[in-house]
Each structure stands twice: as C-alpha cells, then as structure tokens.
Amino acid sequence: MKILVIDDHSLIRQALQNMLLQLDSRAEVLESADCSAALALAAYHLDLDLILLDLHLPGMGGMDALTHFRQSHPAVPVVVLSGNHERQTVLTAIDRGAMGFIPKSSSNAVMLNALRLVLSGGVYLPKEILEPTALPTTMPSRNGASQLGVAAKTPSDLGLTDRQIEVLTLLLQGKSNKLICRELDLAEGTVKIHVTAVLKALNVTNRTQAVIAASQWGWHFDILDRS
C-alpha cells in the first residue's frame, strides 16, 4: 500500500505515519508539506492507494488541491483530515469528491476504522454530520409506494438496478457525469437518467446528500476498476 500524507506540520505527519503503519505494516508513506509538492509527488507515483489531505496549507488551499487530485487521480480515494469540521466545510469537501472527512481530534482507533471503510469502498463522515433528518423516514418500494418502518439495507432494497448501482458507486467516488459516461461506456443522456433515478430512490436532491445517505446506511461499494 502506498499512501500520500499532506500536512504542513512535521509532528502531525510523523504521527500519521505511525498510525498508518498500524493499518498496514508494509505501507509506504509519502509526505508533503504543501499542495504543489504533493501534486508533483502524485504525478510521479501513479500507484497511490490513498491520499490524506489537510485543508489549511500554505500556497494552494486544500479544497483546490482536492479538486486537482479528483481530476488527475479519479481512482485514488482522497480523505480530508482537518481541525475544522464544521458542517459546511465537511459538505464542501464531500461535494468536491472526498471519500472521507476525519477530524484531527479523532482517536487513532476512529481514524483507522474510517480509513478501512474508505479503502473497502465506503464513505466516512464524522458523526456530527450524520443527522437523522438527512434521511427519509420511510423506504420507497420498487413500485414507488413507501413502506413505513422499513429500514433500507442495500441499494437493491430501494429498487436500484445493477446499472444504477454502478452509477451510484461512481457518483459516490466524486466522478462527474462525463467521467461516469467514460467508465461505463454510456451516453451522457443515459447517465443523467440513471443519476436522476438514483437520487429519487434515495429521496435526496443532490450528490452530497446522496453521499450522506449512503454513509448513514453503512453502504460499502467495491471501487470499480475499468482501466
């Protein structure tokens, strides 16, 4: 496993490196103190498995770096580690394609479990962002009627087809409609229809809400590899 850690505090980078060796004792941990150097490292190391990114960095800001990483390395999950975990900051990071957001105040155990979740294809969000009101109180059935008191367990429970689950998987990886078209070899109009159906099934109106819903339900998705 090869992991890139981006943080401007050397002590934090060292602490993260020690923690990551608990995740994988053979992990190769690359370090960078700023985004420009990190982007250069990522361009050289094309076999990265994970990127850990602080938001408050000198030079290019973390949010802008996140956008660059999602565009240049769409298959590599990016997890934000930040001291600022206000709701809007978390939502903005997820909207830009982060696969997880971990407060720096989290314990090592929480961080490790969060990273295992992301590496298995899930999305990690801090508990503060997972408000019960973000989810529907009823689960839509396949025919569109609601089933009171039934908790959704899988995407299939919401009536999603295999193709729609593939679209949802890529959507949760922060990929645009155009990238989903390329990954699944579908016309853009077809992808738009699938995205609309997925959002309707989840009872949400945008991608960020879809990520929150999937995280609340504890859904795990295999990372699609179509290269």
Residue 221 clears pLDDT 70, i.e. is over it: no
pLDDT in tens, 121-152: 778 888 766 654 444 434 444 333 333 334 55
Rounded CA-CA distance 13/30 in Å is 10
CATH number at residue 57: 3.40.50.2300
Element (H, E) at 94: helix 87-95
For the full predicted model, state whether its pTM sits above 0.85: no
- Give the model confidence (pLDDT) of 149-183 as tens digits: 345 567 777 888 888 888 888 887 767 788 889 88
Q: How many domains does the chain have?
A: 2
Question: Is the pLDDT assigned to residue 226 strictly greater than 70?
Answer: no
CA distance 13 to 46: 21
User: Tokens 């429970």 map to which residue?
Assistant: 157
Domain boundary among 129, 157, 172: 129
**Same domain membership, residue 119 and residue 156:** no
User: How does residue 6 score in pLDDT terms, banded at 50, 70 and 90?
Assistant: very high
- Side by side, which strands form the sheet with 100-103? 28-32, 2-6, 50-53, 78-82, 100-103
Tell me the one-letter amino acid at 54: D
Residue 62 lies inside a defined structural domain of this protein:
yes
DSSP 48-72: --EEEE-SS-SSS-HHHHHHHHHHH
Domain range for 202:
132-216
